[in-house]
């Protein structure tokens, strides 16, 4: 018999997050150990005491583990331990060399080794920060938080409500009860307004410009920053944005500031939108990017700015792989 261990973390205690985290963890354990489902005799889960909304064992049954015995238990609340963590032990009939699987920051089971580290990647539109942040998070099996999507969702809500984005008081009213949240399914961020997943609606040019405008208000920024700090405080993650290294997480363990020439950035956005089948014109995209640069970097509150301790990378003439290589090398040097 073989015992295989694994663990993962979730961002929020919701049934949906628990279901997708358990499905992902079991899938990874199966594939890394070349397991067949009928070889699994039983699966025991434990979860930290901040998880209440769903039984991981039930999620395993739903993920297709139809016949093995399943059990869920709650762990003691140990100070300094990882938050929102689900751990698992699979008992397998065959004797194999076990490959234990730790995802999304749940690398270690010992609380003294549990490390929360954050990576801040800032820069203007089209600098390549979201591509790099996503790839890095994927490689490191940690969370990627797209903070721009949060400001975009605020802008969408304002456009829908007919809020005058230049009117501080109206924006402040809108923000008071805005039901904005961020969920993760299979490691992919979904930005929600109430029960509605608005992720597919956030990339239009109307929302893009409105996001840049609404994000200058302190009432908007403080609400978003509070959520961003809450997520980053729970688990290792890569955050990309404009003010992560300067304002959201001034103590982030690793900080990068990506940039590129305006022409290269506009062309990248153009290619991205054309690939998505959208009709765009390079000249108006160039103007939109210049307008956003100006608005994002001249606003009073937490403007787009390179943190003094961030590493500047000009990505104009680099491939994605080259940029990722520089980022990883710099991180290794620092560790």
Is residue 133 a contact partner of residue 58, using CB atoms and an 8 Å limit? no
Q: Using the rule CB under 6 A, which residue among 175, 292, 307, 327 binds ligand DC?
A: 292
What minimum distance in Å lies between the beta carbon of 242 and ligand DC?
A: 4
18 versus 157: smaller Cβ distance to ligand DC: 157
Long-range contacts of 227-234 (CB under 8 A, 24+ apart): 227/150, 227/180, 227/181, 227/182, 228/145, 228/147, 228/150, 231/11, 231/143, 231/145, 231/182, 232/118, 232/145, 233/116, 234/9, 234/11, 234/83, 234/84, 234/116
Per-residue x/- track, 202-231, ligand DC (CB under 6 A): ---------xx--x----------------
What minimum distance in Å lies between the beta carbon of 150 and ligand DC?
A: 7
Stretch near ligand DC under the rule CB under 6 A, chosen from 15-23, 28-36, 169-177, 238-246 = 238-246
What minimum distance in Å lies between the beta carbon of 157 and ligand DC?
A: 14
> What's the token pair of residue 118?
């954050």
51 versus 149: smaller Cβ distance to ligand DC: 149
Question: What are the phi and psi torsion angles at 271 (to 5°)?
Answer: -60, -40
Stretch near ligand DC under the rule CB under 6 A, chosen from 3-11, 19-27, 105-113, 235-243 = 235-243
291 versus 312: smaller Cβ distance to ligand DC: 291
What minimum distance in Å lies between the beta carbon of 324 and ligand DC?
A: 18
Q: Using the rule CB under 6 A, which residue among 57, 125, 183, 307 binds ligand DC?
A: 125
Q: Does 30 bind ligand DC (CB under 6 A)?
A: no
Q: What angle do CA 198, 153, 242 make, to 5 degrees?
A: 130
Burial of residue 275 (CB within 10 Å: 0-12, 13-18, 19+) is exposed
Q: Using the rule CB under 6 A, which residue among 84, 243, 245, 270 binds ligand DC?
A: 243
43 versus 155: smaller Cβ distance to ligand DC: 155
- Reduced to 3 states (helix: H, G, I; strand: E, B; else coil), residue 9 is strand
Q: How many residues bind ligand DC (CB under 6 A)?
A: 14
Residues 135-154 that bind ligand DC (CB under 6 A): 147-148, 151-152
Q: Does 296 bind ligand DC (CB under 6 A)?
A: yes
- Distance of alpha carbon 332 from alpha carbon 193, whole angstroms: 38
CA dihedral 303, 304, 306, 307 (to 10 degrees): 40
Is residue 107 a contact partner of residue 6, using CB atoms and an 8 Å limit? no
CB contact set of 258 (below 8 Å; sequence gap of 6+): 121, 122, 123, 127, 128, 129, 132, 313, 315, 323
119 versus 211: smaller Cβ distance to ligand DC: 211
What minimum distance in Å lies between the beta carbon of 142 and ligand DC?
A: 18
Q: Does 156 bind ligand DC (CB under 6 A)?
A: no
> What's the token pair of residue 122?
């800032």
87 versus 221: smaller Cβ distance to ligand DC: 221
110 versus 276: smaller Cβ distance to ligand DC: 276
Q: Which residues bind ligand DC (CB under 6 A)?
A: 125, 147-148, 151-152, 211-212, 215, 241-244, 292, 296
């Amino acid at each position: 018999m073989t015992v295989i261990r694994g663990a993962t973390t979730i961002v929020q205690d919701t049934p949906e997050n628990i279901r997708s985290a358990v499905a992902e963890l079991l899938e990874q354990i199966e594939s890394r150990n070349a397991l067949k489902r009928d070889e699994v005799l039983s699966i025991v889960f434990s979860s930290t005491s901040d998880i209440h909304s769903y039984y991981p064992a039930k999620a395993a049954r739903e993920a297709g583990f139809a016949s093995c015995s399943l059990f869920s238990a709650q762990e003691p609340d140990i100070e300094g331990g990882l938050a929102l963590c689900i751990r698992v032990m699979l008992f397998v009939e065959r004797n194999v060399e076990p490959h234990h699987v730790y995802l999304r920051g749940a690398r270690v089971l010992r609380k003294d080794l549990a490390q929360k580290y954050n990576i801040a990647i800032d820069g203007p539109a089209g600098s390549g920060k979201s591509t790099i942040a996503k790839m890095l998070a994927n490689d490191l099996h940690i969370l990627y938080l797209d903070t721009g999507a949060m400001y975009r969702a605020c802008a969408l809500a304002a456009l829908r409500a007919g809020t005058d984005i230049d009117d501080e008081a109206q924006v402040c009213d809108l923000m008071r009860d805005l039901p904005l949240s961020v969920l993760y399914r299979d490691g992919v961020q979904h930005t929600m307004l109430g029960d509605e997943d608005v992720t597919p609606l956030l990339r239009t040019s109307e929302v893009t410009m409105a996001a840049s405008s609404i994000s200058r208000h302190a009432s908007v920024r403080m609400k978003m920053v509070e959520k961003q700090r809450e997520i980053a405080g729970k688990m290792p993650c890569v955050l990309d944005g404009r003010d992560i290294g300067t304002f959201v997480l001034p103590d982030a363990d690793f900080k990068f500031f990506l940039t590129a020439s305006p022409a290269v950035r506009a062309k990248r956005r153009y290619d991205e939108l054309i690939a998505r089948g959208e009709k765009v014109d390079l000249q108006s995209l160039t103007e939109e990017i210049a307008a956003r640069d100006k608005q994002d970097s001249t606003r009073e509150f937490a403007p787009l700015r390179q943190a003094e301790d961030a590493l500047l990378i000009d990505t104009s003439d680099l491939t994605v792989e080259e940029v990722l290589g520089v980022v990883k090398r710099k991180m290794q040097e620092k560790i």
